[in-house]
């Protein structure tokens, strides 16, 4: 059994225990969908679902809190299934994680930790395939979303803006026995083709691509992104 399977099972058990905290509320408007926390080599601390005060007993609202290991270049390179450079084109319609994709009935909500998933549309044309290929990102989702008055969010999930460029990090997950890709995090790409690795610091995109392919940081970043060789779209 691989570690991602162990992790998903651990999350499922933790969410099942936390699901009793879910209560109804009126969901605020304009909340962006976001993904769940990090898959880990060591199991993370148990996630919790923070419930809001009830105003409408037919509306569900939950916030996922989850801790994971530092998202270093080495960790992301080794643990992510797909890493791509691309542009966020938009979001699809959220759907429930229930077997039939429909809203869970009241009597089932305490038995199973149902949630919402939101598809993400990523355009990688002309950009870099760091790990995996373009088709691997098709059908990918973020954890959470808003459907009607129901809203599920992740406390520290990636903040995504439609039309912006990112380095996208996807990992393998399963829902009702079916594998799919979930977006764990995304690094915004600046106007000068630079990114900010959370633990290694700012660096040109070309350098970050090499590091993520090799799994090892190169050390201090170049001071001028123009000194970088052209960004290629192929694998080494």
| DSSP line for the chain | --HHHHHHHHHHHHHHHHGGG-EE-PPPSSPPP-------SSPPPPPEEEEPPPS-TT-EEEEEE-------HHHHHHH-SEEEEEEEEEE---EESSTTSSPPPGGGTTTS---EEEEEEEE-TTS-EEES-GGGGTT-EEE-EEETTEEEEETT-----TT-EEEEEEEEEEETTEEEEEEEEEEEP-TTSEEEETTTEEEEHHHHHHHHHHTS--SSPPS-GGGSPPPPSS--
Half-sphere exposure of 64 (CA within 13 A, CB side): 33
* Whether the Cβ atoms of residue 32 and residue 159 lie closer than 8 Å to each other: yes
Q: Which residues contact 10 (CB under 8 A, 6 or more apart)?
A: 43, 44
Give residue 5's pLDDT band: very low, low, confident or very high (50, 70, 90): very low
pTM above 0.95, yes or no: no
Query: For residue 45, is pLDDT > 90?
Result: no
Which of 14-28, 83-97, 148-162 has the lowest average pLDDT?
14-28
pLDDT score at 226: 52
The per-residue pLDDT for range 190-220, each reduced to its tens digit, is 999 999 999 999 999 999 999 999 999 987 6
Cβ within 8 Å of residue 172, ≥6 positions away: 4, 81, 179, 180, 181, 182
Between 55 and 74, residue with greater pLDDT = 74
Top-confidence residue, 113 or 11: 113
Q: Does the pLDDT at position 2 exceed 80?
A: no
Give, in degrees to the nearest 5, the angle at Cα 161 between 158 and 167: 60
pLDDT digits (tens, 9 = 90+) for 99-127: 888 898 877 776 677 889 999 999 987 78
Residue 133 pLDDT grade (very low, low, confident, very high; cuts 50, 70, 90): confident
| Contact between 235 and 129 (Cβ < 8 Å) | yes
Residue 64 contacts residue 47 (beta carbons within 8 Å): yes
The percentage of the chain sitting over the pLDDT mark of 90, rounded to a whole number, equals: 40
Q: Which residues contact 223 (CB under 8 A, 6 or more apart)?
A: none
């Amino acid at each position: 059994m691989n570690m991602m399977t162990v992790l998903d099972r651990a999350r499922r058990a933790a969410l099942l225990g936390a699901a009793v905290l879910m209560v109804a509320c009126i969901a605020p408007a304009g909340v962006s969908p976001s993904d769940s926390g990090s898959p880990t080599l060591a199991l993370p601390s148990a996630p919790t679902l923070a419930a809001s005060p009830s105003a409408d007993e037919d509306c569900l609202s939950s916030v996922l809190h989850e801790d994971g290991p530092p998202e270093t270049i080495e960790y992301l390179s080794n643990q992510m299934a797909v890493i791509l450079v691309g542009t966020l084109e938009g979001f699809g319609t959220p759907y429930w994680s229930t077997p039939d994709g429909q809203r869970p009935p009241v009597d089932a909500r305490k038995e199973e930790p149902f949630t919402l998933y939101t598809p993400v549309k990523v355009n990688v044309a002309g950009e870099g395939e760091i790990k995996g290929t373009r088709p691997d990102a098709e059908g990918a989702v973020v954890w959470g979303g808003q459907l009607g008055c129901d809203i599920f969010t992740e406390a520290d999930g990636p903040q995504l803006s439609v039309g912006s460029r990112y380095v996208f990090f996807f990992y393998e997950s399963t829902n009702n026995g079916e594998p799919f890709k979930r977006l764990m995090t995304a690094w915004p790409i600046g106007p000068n083709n630079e990114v900010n690795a959370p633990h290694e610091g700012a660096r040109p995109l070309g350098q970050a691509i090499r590091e993520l392919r090799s799994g090892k940081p190169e050390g201090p970043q170049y001071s001028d992104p123009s000194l970088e060789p052209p960004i290629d779209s192929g694998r080494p």
